[in-house]
């Protein structure tokens, strides 16, 4: 969990060094803004204080918007940086993860459908086919290497976020636009899915948060 800054009883803004000033909630770009179509630039120096400040503000913005992930272009910064909450059994125990200059490659051919939402496409959900297994390399916020295989919903979130770095929204990955629906209508999908499940005993799809 992100450390909260200590706030003194008497707040003297001039006494607080800039590097521990309060985090900011950033404006989120919405579908149609050109920044969401750009191919983002590599982060030159992960230890740059400006990069660290952007990471802190992106995490704060993601929490505020109740999203599962956020890519820098979504806050008008066209750089290859992603923050997200890895899927976990216990929602309270999820620490945000930071990917700097991530590179993903598909492992195998398996493609699975799943519901996605996006903070840049508010109020909507769509069914998106994604690779079930991917290899991920990136740097974390300490500049240390991440090099791992991930799968399932975790792989979906990372694919969704990395698409933002190449100017691609989930709607462009959809194979059936009939599944683009308002989030408020999701209960109809769950009801239909439950009936289907009871009939065929197949695995269920969980509702996804915006990313």
DSSP for 35-71? GGGSPPBPPS-TT-HHHHHHHHHHHHHHHHTT-SEEE
CB-nearest residue to Ni ion: 118
In angstroms, what CA-CA distances link 11 with 7, 8, 56?
A: 7, 6, 21
Query: Rounded to the nearest 5 degrees, what angle is found at the Cα of 18, between the Cα atoms of 13 and 19?
Result: 135
CA distance 12 to 52: 24
Nearest distance, CB of residue 118 and Ni ion, angstroms:
3
Nearest distance, CB of residue 97 and Ni ion, angstroms:
15
Nearest distance, CB of residue 9 and Ni ion, angstroms:
40
Judged on CB neighbours under 10 Å (0-12, 13-18, 19+), 154 is middle
> Is 161 designated active site?
yes
Complex with Ni ion: residue 39 or 191, whichever CB lies closer? 39
Nearest distance, CB of residue 210 and Ni ion, angstroms:
7
Complex with Ni ion: residue 162 or 211, whichever CB lies closer? 211
Complex with Ni ion: residue 34 or 108, whichever CB lies closer? 34
Complex with Ni ion: residue 75 or 100, whichever CB lies closer? 75
Nearest distance, CB of residue 119 and Ni ion, angstroms:
6
In angstroms, what CA-CA distances link 26 with 114, 154, 199?
A: 28, 25, 46
Complex with Ni ion: residue 51 or 72, whichever CB lies closer? 72
Which residues sit at the interface with Ni ion, rule CB under 5 A?
Answer: 118, 211
Q: What residues contact 138, with CB distance under 8 A and at least 6 apart?
A: 99, 100, 101, 102, 103, 145, 146
Catalytically annotated residue among 116, 161, 197, 205: 161
In angstroms, what CA-CA distances link 201 with 57, 151, 168, 210?
A: 43, 22, 34, 28
Catalytic residues: 161
């Amino acid at each position: 969990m992100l450390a909260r800054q200590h706030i003194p009883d008497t707040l003297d803004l001039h006494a607080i060094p800039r590097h521990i000033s309060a985090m900011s909630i950033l404006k989120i770009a919405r579908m149609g803004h050109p920044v969401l179509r750009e191919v983002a630039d590599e982060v030159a120096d992960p230890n740059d204080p400006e990069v660290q400040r952007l990471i802190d503000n992106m995490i704060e913005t993601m929490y505020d918007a109740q999203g599962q992930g956020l890519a820098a272009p979504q806050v008008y910064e066209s750089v290859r940086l992603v923050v997200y909450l890895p899927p976990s059994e216990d929602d309270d125990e999820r620490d945000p993860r930071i990917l700097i200059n991530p590179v993903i490659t598909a492992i195998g051919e398996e493609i699975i459908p799943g519901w996605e939402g996006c903070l840049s496409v508010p109020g909507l959900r769509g069914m998106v086919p994604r690779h079930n297994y991917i290899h991920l390399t990136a740097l974390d916020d300490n500049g240390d290497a991440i090099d791992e295989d991930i799968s399932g919903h975790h792989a979906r979130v990372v694919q969704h976020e990395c698409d933002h770095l190449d100017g691609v929204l989930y709607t462009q990955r959809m194979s059936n636009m009939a599944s683009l629906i308002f989030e408020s209508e999701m209960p109809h999908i769950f009801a239909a899915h439950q009936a289907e499940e009871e009939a065929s005993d197949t695995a269920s799809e969980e509702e996804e948060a915006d990313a």
